[in-house]
């Protein structure tokens, strides 16, 4: 029993260390992308690449959690390493609905602590920083796919499963955070 417990503990420690190292590699790939505006895979066999950096602030501009790196696509493999950009929607800073999905029990667990009026900062691969203000928080059924639809205005939609501490892997509800842009800072090139 002791040997089994030690093996399980070692496996858990390995998975935790692997997740932290993956975030380091994703951050490095995003920094390379900012330099040349070309996609860089975080590791050679990755089937995704970072497309944005995201931060959450309260209404008093205090950071609520460390930066998250948004990856291209919303496949299960992608979402295991970070939130993913829905590729049929707008990209960060483009006109339309920028949709980002993430797991409720990892990268998007802190969505439950956001409030209307809080801010989300999104840096795209061109270095532009778009500041959004949260305008709506709601719970919808998973069949409400209009949350993914393109819009004539610019907006950011974050989606995760709901409830946050549900024990079922097959959650039928989705938690939606909707935000509108309030400020764009374009990079200054010399």
What confidence score (pLDDT) does residue 190 get? 42
Question: What was the pLDDT predicted at 60?
Answer: 78
Confidence (pLDDT) at 36: 95
pLDDT (0 to 100) of residue 46: 93
Say if residues 64 and 123 touch (Cβ distance below 8 Å).
no
Confidence (pTM): 0.89
CATH value at residue 74 = 2.40.260.10
| Domain-located, residue 174 | yes
3 in Cβ contact with 42 (< 8 Å): no
- Sign of the Cα pseudo-torsion (85, 87, 89, 95, in order): positive
CA distances from 168 to 20, 54, 65, 107, 144 (A): 26, 28, 26, 18, 20
Is the separation of the CB atoms in 70 and 79 below 8 Å? no
State how many domains the chain has: 1
Residue 78 domain-assigned? yes
Residue range of the domain that includes 135: 2-185
Instruction: Look at residue 147 and tell me if it is in a domain.
Output: yes
- Tens-digit pLDDT profile for the chain (190 aa)? 888 777 777 776 666 666 678 889 999 999 999 999 999 999 999 999 999 999 999 877 788 788 999 999 999 999 999 999 999 999 998 999 999 999 998 899 999 999 999 999 999 999 999 999 999 999 999 999 999 999 999 999 999 999 998 777 788 999 999 999 998 887 755 4
- Is residue 190, in this structure, part of any structural domain at all? no
């Amino acid at each position: 029993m002791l040997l089994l417990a030690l093996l399980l503990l070692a496996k858990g420690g390995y998975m935790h260390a692997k997740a932290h190292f993956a975030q380091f590699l994703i951050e490095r790939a995003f920094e390379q992308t900012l330099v040349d505006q070309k996609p860089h895979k975080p590791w050679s066999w990755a089937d995704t690449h970072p497309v944005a950096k995201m931060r959450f602030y309260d209404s008093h501009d205090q950071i609520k959690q460390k930066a998250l790196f948004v990856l291209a696509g919303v496949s299960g493999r992608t979402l295991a390493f970070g939130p993913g950009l829905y590729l049929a929607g707008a990209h960060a800073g483009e006109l339309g609905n920028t949709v980002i999905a993430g797991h409720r029990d990892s990268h998007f667990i802190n969505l439950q602590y956001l409030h209307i009026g809080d801010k989300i900062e999104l840096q795209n691969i061109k270095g532009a920083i778009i500041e959004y203000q949260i305008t709506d928080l709601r719970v919808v059924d998973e069949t409400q796919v209009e949350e993914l639809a393109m819009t004539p205005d610019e907006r950011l939609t974050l989606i995760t499963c709901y409830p946050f501490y549900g024990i079922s892997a097959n959650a039928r509800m989705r938690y939606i955070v909707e935000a509108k842009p309030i400020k764009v800072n374009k990079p200054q090139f010399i």
